[in-house]
Structure 1
Amino acid sequence: MAPELPQDILMDIFSLLEIPDLMRSSSVCTSWRSACTSLRRLGQYDRHQTPCLFYTSESDGDNVACLYHLAAKKVYRLTLPDPPIRRRHLIGSSHDGWLVTADERSELHMVNPITGEQVALPSVTTIEQVKPVVDDAGVILNYELSQYCGDMVFNEDPIVHTPGDLRDHLYFKAFVFSELSTGGYIVVIIHNPEHQLSFARVWRKADVAAGDNEEDAPEWDISKIVYNTKKVYVYKIDMEAKELVEIDGLNDHVLFLGNNQSQCLRAEEYPQLKANHVYFTDDLDGISLSFRVIRRDIGVLNLENNSREEIEPPQLWCGWPSPIWITPSLTIFGNLRLNK
């Protein structure tokens, strides 16, 4: 048997691996696990991570999620803590590995799929427009969602939603930012009524097909409606003119779009990815977070000629929750501030 490699050499080798392969290596033997642990403990692991497609599969349990690694073209399965991931909304993912989810009671949780760490965010009732309706025992029966924003009132009467339905009408997107001064995080939620647009925007143009429904059919079958992204419009900000200027591509960059925190990466740092391409998943407001049976719009778009490719493997993922891009991370939870 060949002698074991010294730990410092193992650490040098492991520092070149992306997180899924690093975690597999740590389970090989005691010495490899020790090298991986030391690499993380000493803060010597800073490998750039390729975004992965996060999804669930009907063939797995409700608590099992899948990561499809674009670089390795492999699927990794992860067991996550309750509440079951198959029953949550995915409303955001951060650049450092955290998902933001809404459970069946419309409560929010941050979860790191790699480490399994999970943190409950402040209650949905801390959002100003949300008021609980309780019975005599204090059990929440429904929520009232008031229809105002700032000084504008859209409807004097609040809309009543069940705890499970509130998330369909309240949440739009969540962002997680590292706060370097404290080592913690800030979570920002875009929610209804009347969610606001940020100053930097990327638009998509999509074809909508109604499947086998006839034009004179009394009602469309939502499960047969198909969205296909056919073009992405990219803009830059002209700071002097204070306006958006359309550009014709990303040159040597790659864009990841969806319900995740959007990412623009340098292709030279990720040789397995395609420059001047957009990797996209569903993020259509009112559709991706509300309908469970609809076919998902997932693929890769070439900005040079608007040609579209499907992502391997073929669509084996479940329609619910809607798949999302996530960048694997080994970061652990610090302090948290919630901005509303």
Structure 2
Amino acid sequence: MDVPGAVRSGAVCTSWNAAYAAFRRLRAPSPRQPPCLLYASDSLAPGAAALHCVATGATLRIPFPRAPLARRPLLGSGHGWVVTADEASNLHLVNPVTGAQAALLPVTALHNVKMGTDERGGPAYTVYDEPGPNSKPPIILEIGRAHEYLYHRVVLSTSPSASRACVVVLLHMPMGKISFTKLGDDRWTLFSPCEGTGLPWKCFYKDAMYSDVDGLFYLLLINASIVSLDLNGSSPVARMILDNVSGTGTRAKYLVQTPAGDFLQAWRLKDYVDSPTPVDIPQEYMDEEEGQDPYVELNTVDIEIYKVDLHGQKLELMKGLPDYALFLGFNASMCLPIKDFDGLKANCVYITDDSPEYVNLLKYNRREVGIWSMAEQSMSKLVDVAPVLCPWLNWPSPIWIKPSFL
């Protein structure tokens, strides 16, 4: 059974509820879970969250733990857990199905972030650049909004239920910074580019992933180069495995591994368009935030998929993925065989918004959630699942997860 179906089974009758409770108590895994869209839905209940299974079309209401999802930005997901930021921009890991939580180290545990004051003397975070003669002045970030500028990607090696076996890699500002920690550590460890580490100096990273095949993390650079990152030993080791990629442009880039172990890169081109129907933006938000436009939307206009040829040190443009479906966004990118998931569309890319500028600065504008057909080179919408039109097109930006009880 998929996770939403298993949860519903507990409401059938007393005996089924007992079976469901035993299943949960035994912490039995639920293999081959189809991806679900996690989104905030006040239409279901104030502060409620919902999971929509794209394979079955089922929607499950879930009570988001601690704080309503509408006030918790979603910054990453993996192994059935999501990464959120609290009112102080500290990171937390949450399993939205079970309600289990794990707090990551505070933002001030990063090597370049300290508690300071803003121009009015109020509390704020001070983010420092590298020391040296050419270092830039520190950046002052409002505590409640630091997550909008500080965090780029958050990647998990395994479920946080595995405790210290779970390694968290964080891509953060300033450009090119990589820090990591294990659950239970007392600090974030900076892995900074320098001689001998194998990391390119001051290069922006677009995406990161963890491979269950070899136990390594992989980093995707803005120029489409790939770096492997081994955090299994006493000291981190990086190695450039794909370099000198030309003609990469400025598209959003994602790194994903197929079930066979091959690496793919997805390049996503977005463009701002004018919507025929404006959104309602509260006047106080219009007054506080410059550049608000109720008509603007950021839409995907093209997606290209490349197979990574590590032996030939090149990228091969693919015409399609006839046996697979991709899931892209703030989530850990997924490539899933459609034969294992009835209801998934072949040769398609399921996408959500993940542009920090659009997501965080235009919070009341519509989010993009849809299915890009590689064959037709066009976008289609997900089927509406609630009485309110497109209930997931609000803030925070929805995210793909593979639900888990672990």
- The TM-score, its normalising length taken from structure 2, stands at 0.69
Q: What residue in structure 2 maps to residue 29 of structure 1?
A: 13
Q: Are positions 1:321 and 2:396 aligned together? A: yes
The 5 Å alignment of 1:141-152 reads: 141-148=123-130
Measure, in 2, the Cα distance between the counterparts of 1:299 and 1:152: 46
Do 2:359 and 2:395's aligned partners in 1 also have CA atoms closer than 8 Å? no
What displacement does 1:84 show? 2.6
Instruction: Classify 1:295/1:42 alpha carbon distance in 2 versus 1 (closer, same or farther; 3 Å).
Output: closer
Q: Give the 3-state SS of the residue equivalent to 1:286 in structure 2.
A: helix
Letter in 2 for 1:171: Y
For structure 2, list consecutive stretches of 5 or more residues without a partner in the other structure: 177-204, 207-219, 221-225, 227-254, 256-264, 277-289
Do 2:65 and 2:96's aligned partners in 1 also have CA atoms closer than 8 Å? no
Measure, in 2, the Cα distance between the counterparts of 1:206 and 1:152: 37
What displacement does 1:29 show? 2.7
Higher RCO, Cα 8 Å, sep 6+? 1
Measure, in 2, the Cα distance between the counterparts of 1:154 and 1:290: 30
Letter in 2 for 1:326: I
Q: What residue in structure 2 maps to residue 8 of structure 1?
A: none
Q: Give the 3-state SS of the residue equivalent to 1:83 in structure 2.
A: coil
What displacement does 1:305 show? 2.0
Q: Residue deviations 1:152-195, cap 9 Å, x none?
A: 88743101111012111101121111179977311111111114
Letter in 1 for 2:115: P
Moved more, 18-27 or 312-321: 312-321
Which of residues 175, 195, 207 in structure 1 aligns to 2:271?
207
Q: What residue in structure 2 maps to residue 175 of structure 1?
A: 155
Q: Give the 3-state SS of the residue equivalent to 1:232 in structure 2.
A: strand
Name the count of aligned residue pairs: 304
Measure, in 2, the Cα distance between the counterparts of 1:233 and 1:330: 34
Q: What residue in structure 2 maps to residue 189 of structure 1?
A: 170
Q: Give the 3-state SS of the residue equivalent to 1:147 in structure 2.
A: coil
Measure, in 2, the Cα distance between the counterparts of 1:40 and 1:84: 24
Q: What residue in structure 2 maps to residue 108 of structure 1?
A: 91
Instruction: Classify 1:41/1:231 alpha carbon distance in 2 versus 1 (closer, same or farther; 3 Å).
Output: same
- The TM-score, its normalising length taken from structure 1, stands at 0.81
Q: Give the 3-state SS of the residue equivalent to 2:15 in structure 1.
A: helix
Q: Are positions 1:265 and 2:340 aligned together? A: no
Which of residues 45, 48, 56 in structure 2 aligns to 1:72?
56
Instruction: Classify 1:224/1:141 alpha carbon distance in 2 versus 1 (closer, same or farther; 3 Å).
Output: same
Do 1:110 and 1:118's aligned partners in 2 also have CA atoms closer than 8 Å? yes
Instruction: Classify 1:206/1:162 alpha carbon distance in 2 versus 1 (closer, same or farther; 3 Å).
Output: closer
Do 1:25 and 1:33's aligned partners in 2 also have CA atoms closer than 8 Å? yes
Q: Residue deviations 1:169-223, cap 9 Å, x none?
A: 10112111117997731111111111424224421122322458xxxxxx85433
Do 1:90 and 1:289's aligned partners in 2 also have CA atoms closer than 8 Å? no
Measure, in 2, the Cα distance between the counterparts of 1:254 and 1:246: 17
Q: Give the 3-state SS of the residue equivalent to 1:50 in structure 2.
A: coil
Do 1:88 and 1:103's aligned partners in 2 also have CA atoms closer than 8 Å? yes
Letter in 2 for 1:239: L
The 5 Å alignment of 1:48-87 reads: 48-61=32-45, 63-87=47-71
Instruction: Classify 1:27/1:153 alpha carbon distance in 2 versus 1 (closer, same or farther; 3 Å).
Output: farther
Q: What residue in structure 2 maps to residue 288 of structure 1?
A: 359
Do 1:279 and 1:300's aligned partners in 2 also have CA atoms closer than 8 Å? yes
For structure 1, list consecutive stretches of 5 or more residues without a partner in the other structure: 1-16, 213-218, 332-340
Query: Aligned-residue CA RMSD in angstroms?
Result: 2.7
Q: Give the 3-state SS of the residue equivalent to 2:148 in structure 1.
A: helix
Q: What residue in structure 2 maps to residue 118 of structure 1?
A: 101
Instruction: Classify 1:39/1:78 alpha carbon distance in 2 versus 1 (closer, same or farther; 3 Å).
Output: closer
Measure, in 2, the Cα distance between the counterparts of 1:146 and 1:238: 38
Do 1:62 and 1:87's aligned partners in 2 also have CA atoms closer than 8 Å? no
Letter in 1 for 2:382: I
Q: Give the 3-state SS of the residue equivalent to 2:405 in structure 1.
A: coil
Moved more, 314-323 or 276-285: 314-323
Letter in 1 for 2:108: T
Measure, in 2, the Cα distance between the counterparts of 1:182 and 1:142: 31
What displacement does 1:71 show? 2.4
Q: What residue in structure 1 maps to residue 301 of structure 2?
A: 230
Measure, in 2, the Cα distance between the counterparts of 1:153 and 1:34: 66
Measure, in 1, the Cα distance between the counterparts of 2:347 and 2:398: 22
Q: Give the 3-state SS of the residue equivalent to 2:170 in structure 1.
A: strand
Measure, in 1, the Cα distance between the counterparts of 2:41 and 2:393: 5
Instruction: Classify 1:285/1:122 alpha carbon distance in 2 versus 1 (closer, same or farther; 3 Å).
Output: same
Q: Residue deviations 1:253-280, cap 9 Å, x none?
A: 0000011111000010012101110000
Letter in 2 for 1:74: A
Q: What residue in structure 2 maps to residue 164 of structure 1?
A: 144
Letter in 2 for 1:191: H
Q: Residue deviations 1:217-255, cap 9 Å, x none?
A: xx8543321122122111111111222222121120000
Measure, in 2, the Cα distance between the counterparts of 1:226 and 1:321: 15
Do 2:29 and 2:404's aligned partners in 1 also have CA atoms closer than 8 Å? no
Measure, in 2, the Cα distance between the counterparts of 1:325 and 1:289: 18
What displacement does 1:97 show? 0.7
